[in-house]
A = this chain, B = another copy of it.
């Protein structure tokens, strides 16, 4: 791969375009696209124009959406037609969503009316909907066909289909009534009617279904493709498993980002500019900094306590860190469980009971270690040790309860559970743990 990269770059630098094209033609199109990403747009166009049209379209379709969008603005009308003809509709729509609206219109003028209508429909689906990730190129069969008819139909229409391995059976008005796999076509007799072979208990989603939910369903039932219908169960497209792999990665990445207090970027790290990274991170840092100031305000109410007994301050990092960690353990488990569809509103009591149990075990262990440490290497004596140990125990229980329950509450309020992750939980737990700590200190130590 790295060797190919060097060779390609030297061909391009020396203007040996044909040799560059030949090199790309021999590579897997995914790898070829990865190399082209690093060239400038003009060079990419020059090379692609020298390739066979099908190969060029294949490689083009694997480029990042932004690059496709930039390139299509620089090509001729007839080239636009060739590109849009060969791209799957979902890929074409993804690309067009990156192009300024006035240029989209110009591009759409270069395709036939039928394609334009389909593309317009795709462009209208919500960003995170099943409609936005589906493709409309699938094999539709009829109940009355025999296996041999179906195979003949696939031979005629299969070339343009995203997958031929799962075929959908529709009635005269395009209602989805069954599904049959090519495996069962091949393993059954040529004369068998499709109506007898098809599974009529079809698992499907609607265009408006969230794409993450659609992905979960495909994954749960081990499907290669999931049919997408309109609200009246008329077949409009399919979501294929390779798109689901991307959705699952993207959704997990989004959750990682949100859980670390960042606005999701939708772009790989190394391809994001410093400014966009800074923008995605600044707002949350600011919000959390302000919460930190509030915690500081709480702390200032106890200035008296820690000017009498400054040693109390030295336990603050241990106490707030442990509280934050205990809380984020719980919230992470629950947020991930919600994302995987394993935890729902109905489980709030179960979660509460589990977290409470865990907190009692973990909290008493940690409190004991702390108590013994302070007593043995003693900076403070029995009462300080007691104060710290009890505060720690209470903090862990409070943190785990908040961490376990808040994500579920967020979900119930139609908020994204992932924002209830470590940073927010930490901030809340910090404030509460300090209140617990100093209230106990003033009481137990009589200051």
Contacts and interface: CB of A to CB of B under 8 A. Distances in A.
Main secondary structure of the interface of A (DSSP, over half): helix
A322 interface: yes
Interface in A120-169: 151, 154-155, 158-159, 164-165
A112 interface: no
**Central interface residue in A270, A366, A430, by most chain B CB within 10 Å:** A270
Interface in A292-331: 292-293, 295-297, 299-300, 303, 306-307, 310-311, 313-322, 324-326, 328-329, 331
A426 B321 contact: yes
A334 B430 CA distance: 27
A427 B344 CA distance: 33
A362 interface: yes
B224 A362 contact: no
A366 B287 CA distance: 10
Contacts of A318: 289, 292-293, 295-296
Contacts of A270: 337, 342-343, 347, 350-351, 354
Contact of A366 (B158, B285, B311): B285
Interface string A356-391: 011001100110011001000001000000000000
A256 interface: yes
A186 B155 contact: yes
A220 interface: yes
A52 interface: no
A289 B366 contact: yes
Contacts of A259: 256, 332
Contacts of A320: 317, 320
A198 B411 CA distance: 49
A379 B241 CA distance: 59
B151 A362 contact: no
B186 A151 contact: yes
A411 to B, nearest CB: 14
A441 interface: no
Contact of A422 (B151, B260, B354): B260
B165 A182 contact: yes
B321 A256 contact: no
Contacts of A335: 256
Nearest to A271: B342
Given A321-B289, A329-B281, A361-B275, A256 B336 contact: yes
Given A220-B30, A289-B366, A296 B278 contact: no
A402 to B, nearest CB: 14
Given A278-B362, A292-B318, A325 B430 contact: no
A316 B319 CA distance: 13
Contact of A325 (B253, B277, B285, B434): B285
17 contacts: A155-B186, A165-B165, A219-B245, A222-B245, A224-B241, A241-B242, A260-B331, A268-B340, A269-B336, A270-B343, A285-B366, A293-B373, A296-B318, A300-B311, A303-B313, A324-B426, A422-B422
Given A262-B333, A269-B333, A328-B422, 10 more contacts: A219-B246, A241-B245, A256-B332, A257-B336, A260-B331, A270-B337, A272-B354, A282-B362, A282-B366, A306-B313
The 9 A-B residue pairs whose C-beta atoms are closest, nearest first, are A292-B318, A260-B332, A274-B357, A295-B317, A296-B314, A222-B242, A278-B361, A292-B321, A252-B252
